[in-house]
Amino acid sequence: MRLQLLEEIKRVFRVLVETRNPGTCARLLGAVSVTAAIHVERYDEPLVTVYMELLVLAYHRNKGSVAYWRMVLKTWRTLGGRLVELEVFELIQSLQTSINRGSDDFVRTWNPTQGPYRPAEDAAIKVALDEAFNSESISLSDYTVMRLFRGLGMPQLPLQL
């Protein structure tokens, strides 16, 4: 990466580190690093600006990277957005619109008397939790908390009088 771009990324990540949790920052940095590596792998030269084709390549390699880039670019734009092509911001905005369209319909139509999961999903969650606990992949306290959360999401049973 060129020095100017590196300084811009450092400036963005200073803000992100102050406002996000460490795990999120690590994933954001990972997405930026992988994207820079894609450029170097493809053109064999340091990355100078963030351009649209690069984000498209990163998206095709890992669709989840768009969500991370969206967080980085939102902060980047707030701080001035130098060394990022305008088309990148437009691309992220269009992907955000198409990704989010209708994705929360299930929340609005959730029936509280039936619970959040279909019976098959609930059974799969129970089996996965039991297997993880039996193989000692999760501790007893983690298992208990997950069963509690699962129980809180169960359908409300009608009162029997």
Which amino acid makes up residue 108? R
The dihedral of CA 37, 39, 40, 41: what is its sign?
Answer: positive
Which element (helix H / strand E) includes 114? Answer: none
Helix (H, G, I), strand (E, B) or coil at 68: helix
Q: Do residues 47 and 39 touch, judged by C-beta distance below 8 A?
A: yes
Task: Give the pLDDT score at 55.
Answer: 83
Q: What is the mean pLDDT of residues 49-67?
A: 81
Kindly state the average pLDDT of the residues 100-121.
54
Closest CA to 70 of 39, 109, 99, 108: 99
Q: Residues 69-97: pLDDT tens digits?
A: 888 888 888 888 788 888 888 887 776 54
State the average pLDDT over residues 17-44.
87
Residue with tokens 């009162």: 159
Rounded CA separation 33/7 (Å): 14
> Domains of the chain: which residue ranges?
3-99, 111-152
Task: Report, as an integer, the average pLDDT of 111-122.
Answer: 63
pLDDT over 80 (residue 131): yes
Spatial CB neighbours of 41, under 8 Å, sequence gap ≥ 6: none
